Structure 1
Amino acid sequence: MITGPRPRALTRMVGALAITQTAGYGVLYYAFSVFIPPMSRDLDAGVAQLTGAITLSVLVSGMVAPAVGRWLDRRGARGLMTAGSLLGAAAVLAWSQVRSVAQLYLVCAVLGVASAAVLYEAAFAVIVAWFGPERRARALLAVAVVAGFASTVFLPLTGFLVDRYGWRQALVVLAVLYALVAVPLHALTVRDRRGPAHVRRGEIVGAALRERPFWLLAAGFLSQTGAVSVMGVLLVTYLIALGHPPVFAASVAGLLGVLSVTGRLVTTGLQARWRTAMVTAVMFGLQGLAAVLLPLAGRSAAGAVAAVVLFGLGFGVATIARPALVADRYGTAAYASLSGALALPITVAKAVAPLAAAGIAEVAGFPAVMGAVAAACALGALALVAYDRQGNAGGARAP
């Protein structure tokens, strides 16, 4: 049951968040890859140096996530998301003026702070605060499905802007575009909803951190996020190593974005009949199977497509499963604080896993990397199965 503003106002808020998440991920994260080649020439820097900058951004966003979560629980999201939008646009504008790798790293650190304030963690905290369990899944899905097309929209758009105007002017255009989209939508549509004043959120978080189920959730999503991050970064390279042409490899890897939307739709539908943790565990298991199949059947075009399709179905499942599981077990009073606590290790895994996998590939080859990906997905599935068995016994739910 929805309380507070009329359903129409909340529907507008969900629509606005879907738009700002698409623009946010497109400008603050996905666009970076398009700028690597021209920045490499202008800044006289290697690809590894430049990639380290976006890794830093991801790490910073994870480091500030707990503080952002506490702010959201205590003061609401409107002011924070509006300020984060302004900070993100300003950082992108500053990015257009960098003259050294050190300056780029500084800008990306600021981007990390802005990302923590405006992307999924903050947006989902708003939805969890306003929507009851029966409508929460649809609202989360609506935002995640639209935002799932961020790379599909912004990678070609950014490529066009770079080709037409150069990378520095392209960043100026993206900064202005993001500011015009995100700042007014966050300021005008996001509704603040603070938790009850009598609730001691620190005690809720502390109790959760002492519980085994919380750490099972952390282990499950950390393992799968690392696996997904590795596939997102190295899949094209591995498909080429298997003998496929670069255009085919890029096209097949591009299926991951579309399939992530499909997987989110399927998962949300299955949640109406089965428990979220078990549905998510099955999806993680299928991803592990896909990672095993890729070295075995990936040299053929059909085998490569089949493995990528199977893996892609679980590509975005964690995005909607994690907020649902946290809110269902612990309630909504300290949701953002708990979500921020979970986000820190999970975001670190997202940032570090591709670097570790690249090292494994150099030493032991890509089949070993796929083995590690499969093991991580299996570990994530097993952790969620164990969580489901304990979760049914009750938890630290807050009012």
Structure 2
Amino acid sequence: MSASTETAAPQTRGGGSHGRRIVAALAVTQTIGYGVLYYAFSVFLTPMARDLHASNAQIAAALTLSILIAALCAPLVGRMLDARGGRALMTAGSLLGAGAVLAWSRVDSLPQLYTVFALMGVACSMVLYESAFAVIVAWYDGNERGRANGILALTIVAGFASSIFLPLTGLLVEWYGWRQALVVLALIYGVAAIPLHALVLRSRAHTARRRAEIVKEATRRRPFWLLVLAFTANGGAVAVVAVLLITYLIHLGHSPVLAATLAGLLGVLSVTGRLLTTSLQTRLPAALIAAVIFALQGVAALLLPMIGRTVPGAIGSVLLFGLGFGIASITLPHLLVGRYGTAAYASLSGRIAAFSVADKALAPLGAVALAQAVGYTWVMGGVAVACATAAGALVAYHRV
């Protein structure tokens, strides 16, 4: 169904050595991008609140704003990726991201902070996973194995972003203070991402004739909206667990060290889940694989309040939930390309991201309010319902 044509030489279309260079370059830029533009924020929370004379909640609202802006920009960015490819867009996003981090180091008030993070949200929509996946999907058009392996390699490497940049940022803040630490991070990101996006990625020439038809037809049909429901529900559930797991484990009576250790397993387990899912996709329908894993996550959320007060129970529940922690990012591209082809991939992915990314920003806020009102057990119940909803939507998607 793809209506795109590559400007690259025919022998490199769909893979080749340059395809591997693209994947390697994006693996580097995604790791640094997520580390600098997202994960590092938690390290700066306390020193920023102190220096700006603001509460932690007021500072944290900046990150929520950034994620919501990224969600709003996702459909437009998707259309631009389909129309012109990723080179110019991701290069411009890298410039904007590095500049926003530099500006972040100079903020003196909450309005300035929120303005900077609004710009950072625009940059994130241009340079993070959704854009990187679109580049890989386009390059490996017609090469399903190459596309799956490329996305898997990218997500495995980028999965270590928090493991690298949380301790690195902590050291930089300790050595130089939070403002100078941000300058260093901006330079790291800019020096790596700008030239890699500009020099390694390939632009594409397209025909828009089929793309608009594909998007119009897809968004009028039930399967697309089942995907929206599935990945929005699961994305919100995963975001809630990522934000509240340590707090809840401590609430259940575990030490902060054990709680943090178990939460840290989620990143490792996401790699395991992605490897397992990619392997199974060669033999089983991807939608059903994801549905089973999402359902198991729901079971884990229900079990945690019941057995989580014991160490084995907490470990088992976290392990079960963690297996599905990263599979959405590799399953959605597979499902979209399998049903709609590659010509409108980024446009359709961007429309789904508008819902799923917004839910990732808002769901933890709702979960915190629910926990304060009626307790964490109800929050875990809500996570289970969201996971079950996602699983049911994918089963329905497979049947239509």
Q: TM-score, normalised by structure 1?
A: 0.96
Structure 2: which amino acid aligns with 1:229? A
What letter matches 2:77 in structure 1?
V
Separation in 2, partners of 1:158, 1:272: 39
* CA deviation after TM superposition for structure 1 residue 202, in Å: 2.2
Which residue of 65, 68, 74 maps to 2:77?
A: 68
Matched ranges for 1:279-318 at <5 A: 279-318=289-328
The question of 1:134 aligning with 2:159 is answered no
Q: Secondary structure at the match of 1:190?
A: coil
Distance (Å, rounded) in 1 between the aligned partners of 2:174 and 2:266: 25
| Corresponding position: 1:102 with 2:105 | no
Q: Which runs of 5+ in 2 are unaligned?
A: 1-9
Amino acid at match of 2:73: V
Contact 1:73 1:194 in 2 (8 A): no
**Matching residue of 1:338:** 348
Deviation at 1:2, TM superposition (A): 7.8
Equivalent residue letter for 1:44:
H
Matches of 1:5 and 1:212 in 2, distance apart?
30
1:220-231 to structure 2, matched below 5 A, reads 220-231=230-241
1:305 deviates by 1.1
What are the superposed Cα offsets for residues 180-218 of structure 1, whole Å, 9 maximum, x if unpaired?
1111111111112243x1524222111111100000000
Pick aligned residue for 2:88 from 79, 91, 104: 79
Please state if 1:173 is matched with 2:180: no
- Does the Cα contact within 8 Å between 2:77 and 2:350 map onto a contact in 1? yes
Alignment correspondent of 2:66: 57
Moved over 3 A (4+): none
Question: 2 CA distance for matches of 1:210 and 1:247?
Answer: 49
Deviations 1:123-170 (A, max 9, x none): 000111111223211111010111111111111111111111110010
Aligned-partner SS, 2:204: coil
Partner of 1:21: 30
| Distance in 2 separating the partners of 1:351 and 1:5 | 35
Q: Which amino acid aligns with 1:156?
A: P
Whole-Å separation in 2 of the counterparts to 1:234 and 1:80? 34
CA distance in structure 1 between the aligned counterparts of 2:145 and 2:151, rounded to whole angstroms:
11
Aligned-pair identity in percent equals 60
Q: Distance in 1 between matches of 2:102 and 2:11?
A: 39
Aligned counterpart, 1:389: 399
Q: What one-letter code is carried by the residue in structure 1 that aligns with 2:160?
A: F
Q: Give the conservation status (yes or no) of the 8 Å contact 2:12–2:18.
A: no
Q: Which residue of 2 aligns with 1:253?
A: 263
Greater alpha carbon shift after TM alignment, 364-373 vs 126-135: 126-135
Tell me if structure 2 keeps the 8 A contact 1:2–1:130.
no
Aligned to 1:347: 357
Whether 2:51 is the aligned partner of 1:42: answer yes
Residue 161 of structure 1 contacts residue 167 of structure 1 at CA under 8 Å; is this kept in 2?
yes
Aligned counterparts of 2:376 and 2:196: Cα–Cα separation in 1 = 44
**How far apart in 2 are the matches of 1:80 and 1:181?**
16
Equivalent position of 2:4 in the other structure: none
For 2:274, the equivalent position in structure 1 comes to 264
Change (3 A) 1:302 1:211: same
Secondary structure at the residue paired with 1:110? helix
AA partner of residue 392 (structure 2): L
What is the identity, as a one-letter code, of the residue corresponding to 1:110?
L
Letter in 1 for 2:136: I
Residue type at the aligned position of 1:175: A
2:115 is aligned with what amino acid? L
Offset at residue 348 of structure 1 (A): 1.0
SS in 1 for 2:126: helix
| Structure-2 separation of matches of 1:5 and 1:234 | 42
Give SS of 1:254's match. Answer: helix
Q: Distance in 1 between matches of 2:49 and 2:254?
A: 26
Is residue 244 from structure 1 mapped to residue 263 from structure 2 by the alignment? no
Could you tell me how far apart the structure 2 residues matched to 1:194 and 1:61 are? 26
The verdict on how the C-alpha distance between 1:158 and 1:252 changes in structure 2, with shifts beyond 3 A counting, is same
Q: How does 1:106-255 map to 2 (within 5 A)?
A: 106-131=115-140, 132-195=143-206, 197=207, 199-255=209-265
1:88 match: 97
Give the Cα–Cα distance (whole angstroms) in 2 for the partners of residues 198 and 304 of structure 1: 51
- How many residues in Structure 1 have an aligned counterpart in Structure 2? 389
- Two-structure CA RMSD over aligned residues (Å): 1.2
Rounded Cα–Cα distance in structure 2 between residues aligned with 1:108 and 1:2: 42
Q: Which amino acid aligns with 2:30?
A: Q
